[in-house]
Amino acid sequence: MVMSGKARAHTNIAIIKYWGKADDTYIIPMNNSISVALDRFYTETEVTFDESYDKDTLVLNGEPVNEKELKKISRFMDVVRDYSQQPLYAHIESENFVPTAAGLASSASAYAALAAACNHALSLNLSDKDLSRLARRGSGSASRSVFGGFVEWEKGHDDKTSFSHPIESDRWEDELSMIIVVINDKAKSVSSRSGMALTRETSRFYQYWLDHIEADIAEAKAAISDKDFQRLGEVIEANGLRMHATNLGAQPPFTYLAPESYQAMAIVHHCRTLGYPCYFTMDAGANVKILVQKEHQQAVVSELAKTFNDEQIILSDITRSGIEIIG
Ligand code: DP6
């Protein structure tokens, strides 16, 4: 019997970061995190289970992936097989919809789409909460990509209690957007998985991160509830910088930020002095993501365009749609 399903999931940008795991196997994080879902960046994945397959296969953007990638996906498919109590291998076709050459493909949308496609193909009837738990096993941030808008991932303390849920926002995200500044960083990259592990194990600043995270989460949620953009912006900027500071305290120290990242941050500060409120955040790479109210988006883009070229400046709305089944 052949069983198939196809799903779309949007990528998300953490505004309060997930940085460090309490449990590597189940991907239980050390702290809660909050994200927004991006309209323009998503993954579509089709999964087919068939008795005739003798291994999992994955075609990504039309090309078979290398052994290392396949192993990672197969480990996730083992979780699906375990969960669904059926032994079938799968063929997976996945496409990332991200602006060309931006290098912004994310494991968050990938694993959320794959989890949803498997749920559909195998008729598992998982609730969104359980889908979020399943997606989490592929990549922590994927647990947030099950939902649209503002999303909180509750760290919980085990597989059952660690999942994401939407944050009530009275559609405030419709008034906001993100500007992504693509920085061409040639430095050797450290994956978020290994970066957060090294930092958690060795950084003398990691405890400082943990000491502030609950207050940051509370502050961000209060700002969302009050639709207070300045209050939200101030906490997300501080939280993101604090995450990057933990990496400087690791043994050996490392950073994801490039000189151009600091240039973009300075432009954001300058825009604020000009009366255009906007705030930055960075993840496990040099790119700078700027949260802005739509009414000020063009003004901020004009300031950025004095330093960065058109291809480096990508705009995206924030979508309120979560996982969609598309086949
Ligand atoms: C900096 O979810 O990619 O983007 O759970 O090991 O797959 P794994 O890590 P991942 O880490 C994301 C880290 C971050 C912050 C965030 O998205 O919260």
pTM over 0.95: yes
Verify whether ligand 1 is closer than 6 Å to residue 27 (CB atom).
Answer: yes
Question: Is there an atom of ligand 1 within 6 Å of 81 CB?
Answer: no
pLDDT in tens, 33-56: 999 999 999 999 999 999 999 999
Whether 267 has a pLDDT exceeding 80, the answer reads yes
Q: What is the mean pLDDT of residues 238-260?
A: 97
Give the pLDDT band of residue 315 (cuts 50, 70, 90).
very high
Mean pLDDT on 181-208: 89
pLDDT at 186 over 80: no
* More confident call, 11 vs 106: 11
Query: Closest ligand 1 atom to the C-alpha of 283?
Result: 1
Q: What is the mean pLDDT of residues 171-177?
A: 98
Nearest CA to ligand 1 atom 1: 283
pLDDT averaged over the chain?
96
**Is it the case that residue 188 has pLDDT exceeding 90?**
no
- The minimum-distance atom of ligand 1 relative to the CA of 18 is 18
What's residue 100's pLDDT?
59
- Ligand 1 pocket test target in 18, 21, 180, 239 with most atoms within 8 Å of CB: 18
Confidence class for position 184, pLDDT limits 50, 70, 90 = confident
Ligand 1 near 14 CB (within 6 A) = yes
Mean of the pLDDT values across residues 113-142?
98
Give yes or no for residue 235 having a pLDDT over 60.
yes
Tokens linked to 271: 């825009």
Q: What's the CA gap between 153 and 147, in Å, rounded?
A: 10
Q: Which pLDDT belongs to residue 104? A: 76
Pocket flag, ligand 1, residue 239 (CB < 6 Å): no
* pLDDT for res 102: 58
Task: Give the per-residue SS3 of the chain.
Answer: CEEEEEEEEEEEEEEECCCCEEECCCCEECCCEEEEEEEEEEEEEEEEEECCCCCCEEEECCEECCHHHHHHHHHHHHHHHHHHCCCCCEEEEEEEECCCCCCCCCHHHHHHHHHHHHHHHCCCCCCHHHHHHHHHHHCHHHHHHHCCCEEEEECCCCCCCCEEEECCCCCHHHHEEEEEECCCCCCCCCCHHHHHHHHHHHCCCHHHHHHHHHHHHHHHHHHHHHCCHHHHHHHHHHHHHHHHHHHHCCCCCCCCCCHHHHHHHHHHHHHHHCCCCEEEECCCCCCEEEEEEHHHHHHHHHHHCCCCCHHHEEEEEECCCCCEECC
290 touches ligand 1 (CB under 6 Å): no
Question: Are 87 and 50 contacting, i.e. CB atoms less than 8 angstroms apart?
Answer: no
Q: How far is the CA of 51 from the centre of ligand 1 (A)?
A: 34
Q: Is the pLDDT of residue 185 over 70?
A: no
Q: Which atom of ligand 1 is nearest to the CA of 193?
A: 6
Compute the distance from residue 130 Cα to the ligand 1 centre, in Å.
19
Which ligand 1 atom is at minimum distance from the Cα of 29? 5
pLDDT at 152: 99
For 70-108, how does the pLDDT look when each residue is reduced to its tens digit (9 = 90+)?
A: 999 999 999 999 999 999 999 999 999 987 555 677 899
Share of the chain above pLDDT 70, in %: 97
How many whole angstroms separate alpha carbon 23 and alpha carbon 163?
A: 14
